[in-house]
A and B are shown apart, each in its own frame.
Chain A
Amino acid sequence: DTAVSQTPKYLVTQMGNDKSIKCEQNLGHDTMYWYKQDSKKFLKIMFSYNNKELIINETVPNRFSPKSPDKAHLNLHINSLELGDSAVYFCASSLVPGQRPDEQYFGPGTRLTVT
């Protein structure tokens, strides 16, 4: 009964390839997020979706495109992968942002390595 799940857990690919990471939550939450944690362990938000609508789009290259087919899923597609994209990508979900409780639940992460 995993709350937030991501696939794949590990992804090794070559520069220039296109890849997708999938995320699903079964918590009934309205909001989902993608975070990137780089080699220095800094966790930074990339995107946020509320009920399938994009509400946050931080300064992220447009090679990254989130897709939310329904409010339980938020996938991340990355085009033309670069070495600097190597990181751990975490999906998270929460109830409506700004309303208590606004705790976020994280998926296990996808460790992406670009060679």
Chain B
Amino acid sequence: RKEVEQDPGPFNVPEGATVAFNCTYSNSASQSFFWYRQDCRKEPKLLMSVYSSGNEDGRFTAQLNRASQYISLLIRDSKLSDSATYLCVVNNQAGTALIFGKGTTLSVSS
């Protein structure tokens, strides 16, 4: 089993749609969870951290289920500017590095 697995994508949605990304991780000892965003030919940037209680930032909602080792990201009212690759990220067992999923590509069209 890969350390971090994500929906393969790509997701092609119209503006205004709601889209959900899923991610599973293999290391039950992981303590930190994130969603990063990477635009084409750019560096990854933190979108949001993911907490056990779930957290929301505007149109973005992240959820963590430790029992199932599952992380999700929900984007409501998609905008053209949301088009990017979304990377699910967890820390390694030692807590010394981040492990990135392969990413899910989102394309929002008008």
- Does B34 reach chain A (CB closer than 8 Å)? yes
Number of residues from A at the complex interface, CB < 8 A: 23
Q: How large is the interface on B (under 10, 10 to 19, 20 to 34, 35 or more residues)?
A: 20 to 34
B46: A residues at CB distance < 8 A: 103-104
Contact A98 B96 (CB under 8 A): yes
In the assembled complex, how far is the CB of residue A93 from the closest CB belonging to chain B, in whole angstroms?
12
Which among B43, B85, B91, B94 has the highest number of chain A CB atoms within 10 Å? B43
Summed over the interface, the residue pairs from A and B with CB atoms below 8 Å come to a total of 50
The interface residues of chain A lying within 8 Å CB-to-CB of B44 are: 43, 90, 106
Bound Cα distance from A101 to B102, whole angstroms:
23
Contact A41 B96 (CB under 8 A): no
Establish whether residues A108 and B43, one from each chain, have CB atoms under 8 Å apart when the complex forms: yes
Q: Are A98 and B94 in contact (CB under 8 A)?
A: yes
